[in-house]
Amino acid sequence: MFCGRRLCLLAALCIGLTSSFAFAQSSSSAPIALPATTGLSASNTDNKGEQWATTAYGDWILRCKASPTAGGKKTCEIVQQLLSNNVIIAEIAFGSVAASSKPSAEVNMVVVLPNNVLVTEPVQASPDENDKTPLKLPFKRCLPSGCFASLPLSPELLSRWKQSNHRGRIAFMNGSNQDVALPFSCRGLSDALEAMAKS
């Protein structure tokens, strides 16, 4: 299951979270490093030694592996990591967990942030940074690797995200009760979601 998996956030980032996010917050046009290679496939091994087949779609990476508990059906996720100064400051993902009893997997949106966040307030996420009605993702748990907020997406919500070609935004509060907003790219998201649905 996707919420228990890794996000390798440096301990130094958690200590210096306020200053790192102040930079991201003060300039909405500040560059965020994103994956940029399109159409490349590879095979990655996770921390359990399991093989994930990966394909890039614009600024998103689709990763899939066979699920032994679902009759060989695939478990897939689409991931975008946000970096500042080559340090991961957030991870946004869409995941589908295969189940042998269901003809199609439910899609969940997951945002992973460092531990120094205010978990009593949900993460707000929107496919358009000017959107006034963002999704609200409640935090589910915090692990040493980060804090996980997630929300299942209805077909209508998923369609809204597929249609976006704008710059998206996630917003949350850090441990010092400061509002933080980070931009992300929607480039390739529609194609990645379509590919995940067919996987």
Rounded Cα gap, residues 111 and 127, in angstroms? 13
Tokens 């996010």 correspond to 21
pLDDT at 104: 55
The amino acid at residue 161 is W
- Model pLDDT for residues 138-173, shown as the tens digit of each residue: 999 999 989 999 999 999 999 999 998 889 999 999
Give the mean pLDDT of the chain. 76
Largest distance between two CA atoms of the chain: 49
Sign of the alpha-carbon dihedral angle for 182, 187, 189, 195? negative
Task: Give the tens place of pLDDT for each residue, 14-60.
Answer: 323 333 333 333 333 333 333 333 333 344 655 566 678 999 999 99
pLDDT of residue 26: 31
Domains in the chain, please, with CATH? 2-198 (2.60.40.1880)
Residue with tokens 């399991």: 50
- pLDDT-based confidence at 72, cuts 50/70/90? low
Please give the structure tokens belonging to residue 65: 């592996």
Q: Give me the pLDDT at residue 102, please.
A: 54
How high is the pLDDT of residue 61? 96
Strand (E) or helix (H) holding 170: strand 167-173
DSSP codes of every residue in 97-157: ---TT-SSPPEEEEEEE-SSB-TTSPEEEESSTT-SS-EEE-EEEEETTEEEEEEE--HHH
Residues 56/44, Cβ–Cβ less than 8 Å: no
Provide the percentage of residues in the chain whose pLDDT is more than 70.
Answer: 67
First to last CA, the chain: 17
Do residues 23 and 13 lie in contact, with contact meaning Cβ atoms separated by under 8 Å?
A: no
